[in-house]
Amino acid sequence: MLLQKISLHNFRNFKKEIFEFSPHLTLIVGENARGKTNLLESIHCIANGIGYRETEEEELVRIGEEILEARGVFQSDEKKYEFQIIFQRKEKGIVRNFFFNKAPKKLFLYQQETTKVVLFSPEQISIITGTPEKRRNYFDKIISSYDYEYKKRLHNLESALYKRNKILECYKNIEELKEDLVFWNGYIIEQATYITQKRQGYIDFLNIHNKVDSKEFHINYVKNKITHERLEEYFEKEIRYRRTQIGPQKDDFILFQDKDLHKFGSRSEQRLGIFWLKLNEIKFYEKIFKKKPIILLDDIFSELDKKNKKLVLNLIKNYQTIITATEEEMFEKVEVEKRIIRL
């Protein structure tokens, strides 16, 4: 499915705009703060129903306005499909509505209809440089996008941990505590088993598709297992800290390219590590959904040397790609049919 055009109404700095895209390569060019990233974010929002920056959804609505509307027209086999999101500010927060071909849809069903977009932006280096939580969130988002059961189990785990921690915080008598924990221990182990298995499945996929050009990558899934035996082992510590000490909420993922990229990678090595993750996100979506995703590249060319730029462009040439840049000259030598949006 290819993106043909989008219309935005009160999306971040855009009051009312229409943008059209090439089926191959579209460049969004403009000086700083013109709305290049916002435009990419709007595509991400239309396709995924959610933004990609770690912001509150109300920040997506133009300052001083109440309703945001964004609509995308996609084409596949001569047929047109329309996706629309409407976010409205209310006292209690944002109310979100999703429509596919004008029919209202729940978010998950909406997401099943749309084409996937894969975003690559400089901030994502924090998947490598940031906390384990960043990495868990990154993988959880991918797995949740095709596995509703996984999403449900993550939610179950989170609320079960909350309740288990409350019990640990408030207990007065050890025997009673043990009794109170029996149900939650079993329940959490059940959720964790599913989550761990799915995370392992995705990591195995990455480790099979481990090459970018001549470079080989690898990822280590560091599981924080939760079993009845380990819970007994950690019982004293749990009492001391009054908090659950083990489980997939503490898993981590370590990226290697010869060396540990988190500790020893240079900026460009780390960036290529992210690019490897992103390339596999693309391959994975194609495998699961049998559709080609759309690739969004935000401002990454200013940070790559000539060789890496060429490598990236070569690897994405068979996809519909939308790239932002401050200078048009960066793409003068790119010999693909391209459309330029000047902001």
Ligand X SMILES: Nc1ncnc2c1ncn2[C@@H]1O[C@H](COP(=O)(O)OP(=O)(O)OP(=O)(O)O)[C@@H](O)[C@H]1O
Kindly list the residues in this chain that would bind ligand X in the complex (CB under 6 A): 12-13, 30, 32-38, 59, 61-63, 299, 326
Which pair of structure tokens corresponds to residue 57?
């959804």
Q: Quick one: which of 85, 128, 91 has its CA closest to 278?
A: 128
Which residues of this protein are in contact with Mg ion, per CB under 5 A? 36-37
Neighbouring CB atoms inside 10 A of 21's CB total 22
Cβ 123 to ligand X, closest distance in Å? Answer: 10
Shortest distance, position 268 Cβ to ligand X, whole Å:
20
Smallest gap from Cβ 13 to ligand X, in A, equals 3
What, of ligand X, Mg ion, none, does residue 12 touch, CB below 5 to 8 Å by kind?
ligand X
- Nearer to ligand X (CB atom), residue 56 or residue 216: 56
271 interface partner picked from ligand X, Mg ion, none, CB below 5 to 8 A per type: none
**Closer Cβ to Mg ion, 37 or 270, answer by number:** 37
- Please report how close the Cβ of residue 28 comes to ligand X at its closest, in angstroms: 8
| 327 within 8 A of 9, measured Cβ to Cβ | no
Nearer to ligand X, 37 or 111 (CB): 37
Report the nearest approach of ligand X to the CB of residue 12 (Å).
4
- Give 97 or 126: the residue with its C-beta nearer to Mg ion: 126
154 vs 300, beta carbon nearer Mg ion: 300
Q: Rounded to whole angstroms, how far apart are CA atoms 133 and 127?
A: 9
Q: What span, in angstroms and rounded, lies between the C-alpha atoms of 284 and 209?
A: 10
CB of 11 to ligand X, least distance (A): 8
Q: Please, what is the Cα angle at 311 between 114 and 295, to 5 degrees? A: 10
Residue number with CB closer to Mg ion (92 or 342): 342
